[in-house]
Amino acid sequence: MIGARLKQARLLAGMTQRGLAESLGQAGYSITAAAISKYEKEKSFPTAQFMLLASAALDVPGAYFVHQPETEVQWTAFRRHSGFGKRKQEAVKAYASDLAELQIELHSLLYPKVSPSLPKPTIANELNDAEKIAKHIRDLWDVGNRPLDNLVQTAEDHGVIVIEWHGDDDKFDGLSGWCGENPVTVINANRSADRKRFNLAHEIGHLVMDTSQANMDEENLAHRFAAAFLVPAEHAIHELGPERHRLSWGELMLLKRKYGMSMAAWIRRARDLKIISEHYYEALNIERSSRGWRRCEPVEYLGDEEPLQLRQMAQRAVAEGLVSPDRMTRIGVDVWEPESEQTDSEHLTVYDLLKMPEDERNAVMARAFKLAADYDFEIFEADEFYEDEDFDDEALH
């Protein structure tokens, strides 16, 4: 357990075993990369001094190394460019696994009777299957026959865990998997809002489609699902018409703003639905390149596509005393506390107390009672407080 958590913390810090050894050496602790490798593989066990210094070097609490994850994410799809190396891939997975675990734990505390409403994968062998499954998910989520205002938060409302990766590398697009019955997705926070929407829809497609026996590339199927989910066929035909020989860049800009799907994706959607010909589709892409619109289109989608559920649940859990703020900051989830509300307490909750050994818990309670004994409390007399108030009894019923 300690070895796996040590490796995870190191990957999160973007540090090699040699880099960690060098960092510890600068702190006066001599160790080799080979020794750290043995710790991570649990062929030997680290000393307390190593754990203390490593936690400082990797910027995690010491308790991080002994925390036992209760769940494990089974990653199914990782969409990235060739330059996104294995070490960076492992860092994304480690980061996402920690946040997913925390989010599942908070959800079980706050919404114990609510389960995710994303079905397990359905067989998809061809593009038409992707269209049908996209329509099924829209119907299941009851989003109606309209553009989706906020896909990230719509997905969160239906139990999809959406995590943003804030690395500065633009070669990562999306990651998805299952943690038990909980769907987990990761998107690049540095993408534009329309790109985030499409990438999330693409990852949801990977989660709900079984492409193991498909006779075509699974990425093409996920792409088709994403486009169909954001712009169902009937929407596209309604907006563009059943057949076109020419499209206006101006109308594509407006449609991007309305549906939150890029102009490039709209052109491909029109081609896929045979609204425009393959020849005209290629001509539009050539013109798009000549205008310099491949990397930056001339109009932005201004929607808000930011995951909020983890932070909202964290705020609620802390407010209700279910978890401590310190625990939330274990993996970078900040909990807002006004300065006027901060105290010198350790923010212990009833759950923290129950996890303590009995003698430690009794000591904490004794200190609390002693502190309370030093305060003068004003006796509250209800009759005296309300004696001048004139209540209408009937108004209370």
CATH architecture group of domain 1-68 = Orthogonal Bundle (1.10)
Rounded Cα–Cα distance for residues 176 and 207 (Å): 7
197: CB partners within 8 A, 6+ apart: 148, 151, 152, 230, 260, 261, 301, 303, 305
Domain boundaries for CATH 1.10.260.40 within the chain:
1-68
Pairing of strands 209-210, 122-123: parallel
Question: 145-172 b/e with 16+ CB inside 10 Å = b?
Answer: eebbebbbbebbebbbbbbbbebebeeb
Q: Other C-beta atoms within 10 Å of 365: how many?
A: 13
Q: What is the pTM of this model?
A: 0.73
Per-residue pLDDT of the chain (397 residues; tens, 9 = 90+): 678 778 877 876 778 899 999 999 998 999 999 999 998 888 888 888 888 888 888 877 766 776 665 668 999 999 888 778 887 888 888 888 888 988 998 898 889 888 998 998 999 999 999 999 999 999 999 998 789 999 999 999 999 999 999 876 678 999 999 999 999 999 999 999 999 999 999 999 999 999 999 989 999 999 999 999 999 999 999 999 999 999 999 999 999 999 999 999 999 999 999 999 999 999 999 999 999 999 899 999 999 999 999 989 988 888 887 777 766 665 556 666 554 444 444 556 655 666 666 777 777 777 776 666 665 555 544 444 444 444 444 443 4
